[in-house]
Amino acid sequence: MDFELTPELAELQRTVRRLAQDKVAPRAREIDRTGEYPQDLFEVFRDAGLLGLCIPEAYGGSGAGILGLTIAIEEVAKHSNTAALMLLLTRLPTGPVMIAGSEEQKQRYLPGIAAGTSRAAFGLSEPQAGSDVAGMRTRAVPDPDRSGGWILTGTKCWMSGVREADWYTVFAKTGDPASRAHDAITAFIVERSWPGVSVGRTDRKMGVRGVDTGELLLDEVRVPPENVIGEVGGFRLAMLGLNAMRPIVAARGIGLAEGALMYATRYVKERPAFGRTIADFQGIQWEIAKCAVEIEAARLLTYRAAWLADQGKFTKEWVPFLSMAKYHATELAVRASGLAVQLLGAAGYMEDHPTEQWYRDARQLTIVEGTSQVQLGLIARGVLAGDLWWD
């Protein structure tokens, strides 16, 4: 058992840490304030080769895998969860393509993501079907004019990067619209330029501003047969893709917690109170210590989950381990950001300090790609089924 990163991953960590300190940190507050897409950071990530970390070398990526992307996102998220989300979007929509896509699909859509010449987004949620994915209403009916083709109609919502994307991974019902069976749902690659594809309302978010979240409108969009991902009725693909994403989302939580705690620790070491500094009080020290323990525990869970996912271990029996990482790290982000605000007192509540931004950004993480409650359900199901057991 070796807990050391490989030389390649350690160098990646050092490189991204410097880049995040030099390029991301100075921009984080402005991005949050204006809500404008940080194209400059996208170009920084592109030039540093970070957009293809999880994409195999055969398709223009570096092949660093989910663990490599996890490490990079952790460093970036210390300063900006918006920037971290930009890196996450190199894997979320491409995951189903890499897992079950045809060779033609991989050759056509993955190299552009790695090179930064195209962007993608992931369409699963709908207004009435967030955690209840089987309740989606987007329909795909056979195209009468093209054998094997489909016509998609519906609305996807809460899609991160919806305005910037050139193509989308979209899930729709190909079976009975009232059916809740998994084989009634199929994944498609939908290009932004196709007739009937448009972006609807964009959301006004509490945090993680700068990468638009909003609606994708599909009005009788004709999808050719070669853009079906995997098999018709392959809803399991959505779950496999999301399972593999758990450590990547967890990395956003770890990085946020680290950034918040480090900032607050520096503050209490310098802030005088009652003839001492705030850091001299034992009660403050204990809170810092407890948070530090949780960060290290979250990192171990997350790195293990990323290691499992890179081995293809994101099927049912491995779900509890992946969900634990996402649950613990994202809930930790909420606690750590709350602690940071508290340690700074009134100052932490003001926009003079980034603690209030971390506090707002953290809430998103416990909701996206499976809420904390969904993760707890998956973990419990794993224990009850014996997938997670200790003898």
- For residues 208 and 330, give the distance between their C-alpha atoms in angstroms, rounded to a whole number: 14
Q: What angle do CA 381, 385, 389 make, to 5 degrees?
A: 100
- For residues 207 and 196, give the distance between their C-alpha atoms in angstroms, rounded to a whole number: 30
- φ/ψ of 272, rounded to 5, equals -75, 145
Contact 73, 252 (CB under 8 A): yes
C-alpha count within 13 angstroms, C-beta hemisphere, residue 163: 12
Q: Is the dihedral of CA 23, 27, 32, 34 positive or negative?
A: negative
Q: Which of 126, 215, 258, 369 is catalytic?
A: 369
The secondary structure element, H or E, covering residue 252 is helix 236-270
At position 148, the amino acid (one-letter code) is G
- How, if at all, do strands 167-173 and 120-123 pair? parallel
Angle between helices 81-88 and 236-270 (to 10 degrees): 160
Contact 255, 77 (CB under 8 A): yes
Neighbours of 269 (CB within 10 A): 11
Known active-site residue 369: yes
Neighbours of 161 (CB within 10 A): 22
- For residues 177 and 44, give the distance between their C-alpha atoms in angstroms, rounded to a whole number: 44
C-alpha count within 13 angstroms, C-beta hemisphere, residue 323: 24
Contact 188, 150 (CB under 8 A): yes
- How, if at all, do strands 197-202 and 213-223 pair? antiparallel
Residues that are catalytic = 369
